[in-house]
Structure 1
Amino acid sequence: MMRSGEQSVHVSTGDALVVSQHLPVMSRITQASPQEPYLAIVLSLNLTTLRELYAQLDGLQDHEKSDGAFSCSPSDAAWIDPLHRYLDMARDPTTLFVLGPQLLREIHFRLLTSSTGALLRGLLATDSYASRISRSIVVIRQQLSAPLRVPEIAEQIGMSNSAFHTHFKKVTGTTPLQYQKNLRLITGMDLLEHSGCTVASAAYEVGYESPTHFSRDYKRKFGQNPSASKRLSERRPNESSRSSA
């Protein structure tokens, strides 16, 4: 299961999950065992390749598009077949180097023109709300520690304040302010667990003016104090040294 804001999706065996926006998400594996382990393939799509293909396919403009941020549907054999062939090439580096780029382009094409690719078509349409919201997300991520100035962002992407709020929530499942807060907290967790910084420095790094406020929001979101994540980071070197001994 994956959740972002008020949106959630359950992924079953054989399903394909397409994510078209940068979202602060929480996910959980609900079924797995040694006999039937959880296995998944993550393929990062090349936006430049998608744009080139979309520009070449004028008829694609008439296909159904979606303004959401993620969707789940049964895998389509049209793009699963070239994906299998691409994975098989991993055993032969030379073949992968020579033919891999062509297969990746085919995978992008098949996915873009399939029913699964509706989200991607919505993202690529320059006049779509999904495309505009995508540009606003880039601004928020680049200015994560700065105060959120919604009117300025709305003006940059050519939308009114009310339309921006409405379509931002439709695409991401949350408001711009809540999106920024979630992203700040997830970034703060990553800093605490991997950089070795203090709780206060993590709070200031992601834009909080008060470590107390950061700790309160952190516990509300993750169910534990940020100091617990800090202790996890401090234990890792010791665990590594014990493993090496």
Structure 2
Amino acid sequence: MRDTLLDLCRRYADTHADHDGVAATGVPGLTIVRSLHPGELQAAVSRPLIAMLLQGRKRVTTRLDSFEYGPGETMVIAADVPTVSQITQASISAPYYSLVMEFDVAILRELQGAAPAGPQYSASVCIEPMDADVMDVAYRLARLFEQPAALKILGEGLLREMHYWLLRSVHGTAIRALGAVDSHTERVSRAVAILRKEFMRSIRVEELADAAGMSVSVFHQHFRAITTLSPLQFQKQLRLINARRLMLTDGVGIAQAAYAVGYASVSQFTREYARMFAAPPGRDVRMAKVSA
């Protein structure tokens, strides 16, 4: 079935992928990623998601672990975890294809009681072979990508079914925490939402702890345990990632990008950018212009 799913996703992505290699499917949160070449290192603060790798290979690194996975394997990120990733195998004759779905917390909450608990494996980021039931739903969804009228009627139910089987899968324990009301993961996600929306301004940790309904010390403990970073480090990564996008995608100057994401000092921005991306912003901007 994986080969058939690959064929369906290949045909759709080859026609609909944008200049970044992302093909929206018409299902909220469900995309296909396509690449014709191995890529550069990409830093992101990933939202909770599942990525089903259909062709090619990819390496993903968090602060704690490094993973490389290939065809027939699934990566689940069950928390807002900063990652550095790189497509390591892709070519014009055999492009990289991955079917990616962001988790819908509302669906997870609805299914908390309906889906029996899966195996007790609770890592925030993990790689496992594709689950047969999840792959079956993905196949039925992919058959509808070119049929928008049918997808509009049937897509929501299939998306709900995929969440159900994921809750039953080896990833179930970690995924379940995303939708559990008042779990540590859910509480920390409230603070993460503030950081994602308002990373440009100075945010006091007390404000974040209040949003999570925790004391400052307990909040620090759980925030780091779930995201692998302190709140300040998390905000810094959001600032640097967004500044990089402004410079390389939107053509914004270095100083302007630094100020736009909340830095008061361009020199500090340059130092921290180089530390995170292993190159100063000026070199990245020059390389982007050469490859354009």
- TM-score over 0.5 (shorter chain): yes
The question of whether the paired residues in 2 share the 8 Å contact of 1:122 and 1:131 is answered with yes
Compare CA radii of gyration and give the structure with the larger one: 1
The question of whether the paired residues in 2 share the 8 Å contact of 1:3 and 1:27 is answered with yes
The question of whether the paired residues in 1 share the 8 Å contact of 2:121 and 2:170 is answered with no
Further displaced range: 118-127 or 10-19: 10-19
**Residue 114 (structure 2) pairs with residue 57 (structure 1):** yes
Counterpart of 2:31 in structure 1 is none
**Residue 196 (structure 2) pairs with residue 141 (structure 1):** yes
Q: 1:85 to 1:94 in 2, by over 3 A?
A: same
Give distance in 2, aligned partners of 1:11 and 1:172: 21
> What is the TM-score normalised by the length of structure 1?
0.84
How well do the aligned residues superpose, as a CA RMSD in angstroms? Answer: 2.5
- Identical positions, percent: 36
Counterpart of 2:245 in structure 1 is 190
State the number of aligned residues.
234
SS at match of 1:89: coil
Structure in which a larger fraction of residues adopt strand: 2
Give distance in 2, aligned partners of 1:42 and 1:20: 13
Structure in which a larger fraction of residues adopt helix: 1
Question: Which sections of structure 2, spanning at least 5 residues, go unmatched?
Answer: 1-58
The question of whether the paired residues in 1 share the 8 Å contact of 2:80 and 2:227 is answered with no
Q: 1:230 to 1:115 in 2, by over 3 A?
A: same
Which amino acid letter does the alignment assign opposite residue 81 of structure 1? D
Further displaced range: 194-203 or 18-27: 18-27
One of 5, 14, 19 as aligned partner of 2:77: 19
Q: State the Cα distance separating 1:192 from its structure 2 match.
A: 0.5
Q: State the Cα distance separating 1:59 from its structure 2 match.
A: 5.5
Q: State the Cα distance separating 1:27 from its structure 2 match.
A: 0.2
Matches within 5 A, 1:1-245: 1-33=59-91, 36-54=94-112, 56-57=113-114, 60=117, 64=120, 66=122, 68-232=123-287, 234=289, 239=292
Q: State the Cα distance separating 1:140 from its structure 2 match.
A: 1.4
Q: State the Cα distance separating 1:142 from its structure 2 match.
A: 1.9
The question of whether the paired residues in 2 share the 8 Å contact of 1:136 and 1:153 is answered with yes
> What is the TM-score normalised by the length of structure 2?
0.71
Q: 1:49 to 1:37 in 2, by over 3 A?
A: same
Q: Which has the higher contact order (CA 8 A, sep 6+)?
A: 1
